[in-house]
């Protein structure tokens, strides 16, 4: 018998209950903007070039460009196109760049828990240490925003076998960690159900640009082609398309230019889709669509 995780059962997407998203739409689209802070001279982090011995000035400064410049350019883009955003925020961002977090709060964007810093993985901690990490990050977001975050994305998508249970124990209602589907599904935890909302690993600038070395125009084309194909597929089943972006990558001027092209293409179809936030998808699934999400 192959070892399993016990969080959900196999169900083909072609054999599930049918439903619509709000306003009779069939494709929900959300943007997951990762706002991340990194430790200087230690810990994890993406690399624009192979790093040398610490302190790795080149890669630290490259990532810091995202918070100092790239995120502000992306904020202008979101304003220009009237795009809602789910901000996946390290709690360290509130000390490091409070004015940036305040700018997204002013827009009414959703803040999603994203650990303390992307310099660490929670999956290497024991259960008590991991619970403390989740609690610490959650308290910072709750205090700053006035409401607790409902969703969680682990730094580096790192989970222990206990993570879903720890999230529901901490009050979380949905996770973005699992990329196994194009529809939201309920996952089993010791404290009740946790909704898994699709979070992309393809229409995602980290695996695309950092890992596969895709160019700026190629990443924009990935977003456009993925959107066009899912819009056609959604005639048969309601679907969710997430777009994952990091300001130190797509906030670079030449990449931002192509990202703007991709987002404008999506906005050209605004009347046919539900442009939304991950938390709004959760609310729709938990209330209006109760019993149809499996």
Which is nearest to 251 in space by CA: 130, 71, 12? Answer: 71
3-class DSSP state for residue 269? coil
Domains of the chain: 19-37+66-286 (3.20.20.370)
Provide the 8-state DSSP code for 23.
G
Radius of gyration of the chain from its Cα atoms, rounded to whole angstroms: 18
pTM: 0.97
Sign of the dihedral through C-alpha 207, 210, 215, 219:
positive
| Closest C-alpha to 115, from 95, 133, 100, 139 | 133
pLDDT at 63 over 90: yes
Confidence check: pLDDT of 51 > 90: no
Whole-angstrom Cα distance, residue 200 to residue 227? 12
Can you give the pLDDT at residue 104? 98
Burial state string for 242-256 with b = 16 or more CB within 10 A and e = fewer than 16 = bbbbbbbbbbbeebb
pLDDT tens figures, 116-144: 999 999 999 999 999 999 999 999 999 99
The 10 Å CB-count burial string (b at 16+, else e) for 271-293 is eebbbbbbbbbbebbbeebeeeb
Tens-digit pLDDT profile for residues 88-98: 999 999 999 99
């Amino acid at each position: 018998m192959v070892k399993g995780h016990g969080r959900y059962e196999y169900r083909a997407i072609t054999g599930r209950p049918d439903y619509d998203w709000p306003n009779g739409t069939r494709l929900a689209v959300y943007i997951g903007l990762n706002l991340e802070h990194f430790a200087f001279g230690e810990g994890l982090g993406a690399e624009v070039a192979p790093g040398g011995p610490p302190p790795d000035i080149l890669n630290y400064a490259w990532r810091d460009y995202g918070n100092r410049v790239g995120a502000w350019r992306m904020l202008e883009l979101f304003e220009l196109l009237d795009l809602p955003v789910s901000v996946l925020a390290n709690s360290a961002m509130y000390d490091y760049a409070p004015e940036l977090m305040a700018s997204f709060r002013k827009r009414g964007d959703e803040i999603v828990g994203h650990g303390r810093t992307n310099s660490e993985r929670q999956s290497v901690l024991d259960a008590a240490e991991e619970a403390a990490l989740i609690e610490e990050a959650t308290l910072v977001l709750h205090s700053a925003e006035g409401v607790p975050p409902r969703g969680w994305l682990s730094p580096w998508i790192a989970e222990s076998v206990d993570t879903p249970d720890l999230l529901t124990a901490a009050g979380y209602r949905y996770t973005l960690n699992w990329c196994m589907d194009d529809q939201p599904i309920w996952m089993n935890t010791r404290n009740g159900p946790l909704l898994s909302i699709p979070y992309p690993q393809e229409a995602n600038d980290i695996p695309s640009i950092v890992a596969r070395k895709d160019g700026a125009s190629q990443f924009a084309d990935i977003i456009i082609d993925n959107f066009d194909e899912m819009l056609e597929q959604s005639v048969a089943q309601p679907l969710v398309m997430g777009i994952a972006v990091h300001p130190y990558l797509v906030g670079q001027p030449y990449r931002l230019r192509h990202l703007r092209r991709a987002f404008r293409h999506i906005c050209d179809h605004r009347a046919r889709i539900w442009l939304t936030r991950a938390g709004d998808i959760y609310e729709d699934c938990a209330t209006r669509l109760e019993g149809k999400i499996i």
